[in-house]
Amino acid sequence: MSGDHGHGPSTPASAELESIKRPLAYGPVQGDLALVEEALAEASEIDSSPLAGMLSLVLTAGGKRLRPALVLLAGQFGSYPVRKLTLLAAAIELLHTASLVHDDVIDGAELRRGHPTVNTCYRNSTTVMLGDYLFAHSAYLVTQTDNIRVVSLFARTLMFMARGEIGQDMSAYSLSQEPISYLRHIGDKTASLFATATEGGSILAGCPQEHVAALRHYGYNLGMAFQIVDDILDFNGDEWELGKPAGSDLEQGTLTLPALLYLRRQPGENRISTFLAERHPEALAEAIAAVRGSGVLMEAQQVAQKYCRRALRALEILPPTPARHTLAELTDHVLQRQS
């Protein structure tokens, strides 16, 4: 990463690093993501100056737009009605953003993607209302698809996401959790939205039911892997890349898969149980170091790989198009991502 960039062949290690850091590309739908950005920009164009400023803050804070891209890619297997797909893609991104806004209030987070969160700039009550506005606006956009099946799917997904967040919040700081409960929570709060992106896109495109089912299965398993890798990065990711401090989940009492695997290896008194009892920074740092040195991060990575293999198997029924190739490549991105 020094001034030698571009001089001479890259080493295998540096080539791998460059491949990870390259901007994520979405193949045949890359150009149409600009339409999604336009729809998101329109969501900020309102008469209320305070609200417009808040919307601009959260909708221009970055992000890879993975979920909207999944909507468009799924639509490639059918008639590809670009306007309706764009509406659903923007709605999915608004719903995702709304959930992040509420998460930051609940967690008291000060950074998101390296930028101050909305709740550090405004009162929590105001920030909660911003999240509510985003939820409502996302629902409004979905109704514009004129597809009751997609509207119903979207509503159920919001229910699942809320159920997952409630389940996670109610089990905070509890040492009695099992990995199966964790998987159920992330299935609701994260994977359900990925599944809705691919299922909804395929429904709008008029895909045959076996393709709709395959794309839903792909999206769900990709979402599971995505969240597991996210939880691994919370322990061993670069804080500058992540845009938030290491161990943020554990600090909030959220026991993710790496923590639960560590507790299974170290029953009784251990670094995590000590932190949960004492809750001071030194104990948190020791708990993070213990998890990093225990080997459970590799074990969690293997679970993420399992879900990606399931996602790839789901694609086998689909025609071998550029969209299918891009979906397959996204499984590698999810496993290798650094932020």
Average per-residue pLDDT in the chain?
A: 87
Q: b or e along 119-129 (b: 16 or more beta carbons within 10 Å of the residue's beta carbon)?
A: beebeeeebbe
Calculate mean pLDDT across residues 167-194. 94
The residue among 309 and 248 whose pLDDT is bigger is 309
pLDDT of residue 52: 82
Q: Which domains does the chain have, with CATH numbers?
A: 25-336 (1.10.600.10)
Examine the pLDDT at 104 and tell me if it is beyond 70. Answer: no
Task: Count how many residues are written for the chain.
Answer: 339
pLDDT of 284 higher than 50: yes
Is this prediction's pTM over 0.75? yes
C-alpha separations of 125 from 59, 102, 105, 159, 248 in Å: 19, 10, 9, 22, 22
Say whether pLDDT at 150 is over 90.
yes
Distance separating alpha carbons of residues 68 and 35, to the nearest angstrom: 11
Rounded CA-CA distance 209/67 in Å is 21
pLDDT above 60: residue 95: yes
Is pLDDT above 60 for 13? no
Query: What does the pLDDT read at residue 17?
Result: 32
| Confidence label for 9 from pLDDT (cuts 50, 70 and 90) | very low
Distance CA 2, CA 190 (A): 37
CB atoms within 10 A of CB 27: 18
